[in-house]
Structure 1
Amino acid sequence: MKLVWKASERGGPGLATRDIAATLKVSASTVSGNLRKLDRDGLIEHTPYYGVVLTPLGQQVAVAMVRRHRLIETFLVERLGYSWDEVHTEAEALEHSVSETFLDRVDADLGHPTHDPHGDPIPRADGTVPDSPGTLLGAVEPGACGTVDRVSDDDPSLLRYFDELGVGLGTHLRVERVRDYAGVIAVSRRGADGEESLVDLPAAAASAIWLAPDAD
């Protein structure tokens, strides 16, 4: 259900069964069986040629699950010293074990954070979701400038790659060239010292970064 919600959160259509199976690394038959149960419970709708979407009830349940996951990720980084590439799997394991009381205390201890270590908005207790103004880097035109405000946590190895490049939340980037034939976007990265360096980002990396545009 979190996968379906995240797809809609990022502006995507309903998810196909094969996409869910590929992401979770399970068989399509396993996914289909679970989807039938969720459908019976009134949590999803599965429309041919459109995919799986959440019902209003499913939306409520999924938002609560996402809130739990992202708060735990934030706690692991802020209080236990985890790096951003380590927390996704840990949070997946822990989120099913903690109580709402524990979660509320984590939220209060962290000062009610609005975004997790990857820049993903953390749903509030009332189910509303903070704004996230970024645009996918791959959709930005050459010459555009902005600050990285969100990075996909789907692939820990990609997060480690960004660390090597010095690209993370708050990094200022300017799109220099889009080389469609090579599947590469060339960006200028502004370092902490104010110096700029040119970085070639492959398509997989560019599709994992959201850029908040500079104010005019």
Structure 2
Amino acid sequence: MPRPALTRMVEDYVTLIWKAYEWPGGRPTTTDLAERLAVTASTVSANLKKLARDGYIDYEPYGQITLTEQGRSIAVEIVRRHRIVETYLVEALGLSWDQVHAEADRLEHAVSDLVLERMNAALGHPDRDPHGDPIPDAAGRTADHPDRPLREARPGAVIEVVRVSDRSPELLRYLHERGIVIGAELRVVSVSTAASVITVSIDGADLVLALDSADAIRVVSVAE
């Protein structure tokens, strides 16, 4: 039996909740959801109650927000569509990684399943999108790629960038202009928690990043 038509509200909320948990150490909050959706906290609270009533989430006011199996299934399907579209926009159409998130938000609901799977096949069935985020397969599974926040890398370590949060287009542009993209190799020069900065070297040039910005970058070790 086909799934009943979903509202955009349901899709947006369950997707944001799933993505909050997907990012290591993350969890959704009313305040964060309000910021991401550009609505008031009271609107978020009211919509969370509706989602809980309709069986998409488990939620008590001021408590933890979690997806039910139904909510998770919807979220994974939407995330998969979004990330395949993002990858296609970069690989086939040449859009930059700071442009594709908003474009994919518009297209993910319009692209048919047939076109989506043709896109995926043309791309070679990638398991990561342009930001390094995992793309769920048709069964909702994601490949396990252990990584860690840039701020946890030790001075002297050589690391590779494998994932960057797509939350801020401005930060993506800033990093891209300085060569910090997926696959870039960096050497950690120093980490200062007192000054809340980390200094990395890329192509022989030092770059100082705020630790808040570094938290958007995840890496794997090349050499310690």
Normalising by structure 1, we get a TM-score of 0.91
- Per the alignment, residue 215 of structure 2 pairs with 207
Distance 1:74 1:124, change over 3 A: same
Separation in 1, partners of 2:63, 2:154: 29
Q: How big is each residue's C-alpha offset from its partner over 1:36-72, in whole Å with a ceiling of 9 and x where there is no partner?
A: 2211221111145543111122111111110011000
Q: Contact (CA 8 Å) 2:157, 2:223: kept in 1 or not?
A: no
1:137 deviation in Å? 0.7
1-side partners of 2:181 and 2:60: how far apart? 37
Alignment partners' CA distance in 2, 1:65 and 1:132: 21
Taking a change above 3 Å as real, the CA distance of residues 210 and 13 of structure 1, as seen in their structure-2 partners, is closer
Residue in structure 2 matched with residue 172 of structure 1 by the alignment: 185
8 Å Cα contact 1:17/1:51 also seen in 2? no
In structure 2, what is the Cα distance between the partners aligned to 1:13 and 1:81?
A: 31
Measure, in 2, the Cα distance between the counterparts of 1:204 and 1:113: 29
With over 3 angstroms needed to count, the CA separation of the structure-2 counterparts of 1:7 and 1:174, relative to structure 1, is same
Q: Secondary structure of 2:59's match?
A: strand
- What is the distance in 1 between the residues matched to 2:73 and 2:172? 29
1:161 aligned residue: 174
* Residue matched to 1:35: 48
Partner of 1:135: 148
5+ residue gaps, structure 1: none
Q: Secondary structure at the match of 1:88?
A: helix
- Give the equivalent residue in structure 1 for 2:96: 83
Matching residue within 101, 112, 119 for 2:125:
112
Mapping for residues 180-199 of structure 1, pairs under 5 Å: 180-189=193-202, 191=203, 196-199=204-207
Q: Which residue of 2 aligns with 1:102?
A: 115
CA RMSD of aligned residues (A): 1.6
Is the 8 Å Cα contact of residues 14 and 50 (structure 1) preserved in structure 2?
no
Q: Is the 1:13–1:50 Cα contact (8 Å) retained in structure 2?
A: no
AA paired with 2:214?
Answer: A
- In structure 2, the gaps of 5 or more residues are 1-13
Q: 8 Å contact 2:132–2:164 — kept in the other structure?
A: yes
- Could you tell me how far 1:204 is from its partner in structure 2? 2.7
Query: If the length of structure 2 is used for normalisation, what is the TM-score?
Result: 0.88
**What letter matches 1:23 in structure 2?**
R
- After superposition, the C-alpha distances for 1:89-116 in whole angstroms (9 at most, x for unaligned) are 0000111111212211111111111110
Residue pair 2:156, 2:189 contacting (<8 A) in 1 also? yes
Deviation, structure 1 residue 215:
6.1
- Aligned-residue sequence identity (percent) comes to 50
Separation in 2, partners of 1:115, 1:202: 26
Q: Is the 8 A contact 1:15 1:50 kept in 2?
A: no
Residues in 1 aligned to 2:51 and 2:221: alpha-carbon distance in whole angstroms: 39
Q: Secondary structure at the match of 1:112?
A: coil
Paired residues, number: 211
Deviation at 1:168, TM superposition (A): 0.7
